[in-house]
Copies of this chain bind each other. A is one copy, B any other.
Amino acid sequence: MRPEETARAAGAAMYAGDLASQRLGIEITEIGPGRATAAMRVTETMINGHDVAHGGYVFLLADTAFAFACNSYGANTLAAGAEISFVEPARFGDELVAVAVERVRYGKSGLYDVTVRRSPGGQVVAEFRGRSRTVAGSLLEPHTDDGATT
């Protein structure tokens, strides 16, 4: 498979098992080698008083984009950790878009930058940097048994 095809196949395999993202209405709107875009609308159940989204949901969206980006080569890859800076609160009804881009891969490790923006307008809501670690197994071999992704 070419890298773009591998990324799409890996993303489809991940999404099928990712009940958490599905239930929150997260969509993967773009995926390719080392990159992914995830979108989510801020609903009432994500609100933390005063119509502000709980920072945990902003992180969760960024973490999802990161997980799809770092698994886009087809090898099972875990989130080892992440750093987030909250720039602006997200509010009830906002459409949030998280764009994950690979910064560097080395050995079994990788770093991915994710920017979360509010739509429309494009105001930055958060900046996230995720650290990944590739483990045994492949997302594209259906019989593997250790495909945890985040």
Contacts and interface: CB of A to CB of B under 8 A. Distances in A.
Interface of A is mostly: mixed
A89 B48 contact: no
B49 A149 contact: yes
Contact of A56 (B48, B52, B57, B83): B57
Contacts of A19: 44-45, 47-49
A64 interface: yes
Please classify how large the interface on chain A is, using the bins under 10, 10 to 19, 20 to 34, 35 or more: 35 or more
A49 B14 contact: yes
A38 to B, nearest CB: 11
B50 A55 contact: no
Contact of A57 (B60, B78, B131): B60
A124 to B, nearest CB: 5
Contacts of A49: 14, 16-19, 147-149
Contacts of A87: 104, 106
Interface string A116-150: 00000000100101010000000000000111111
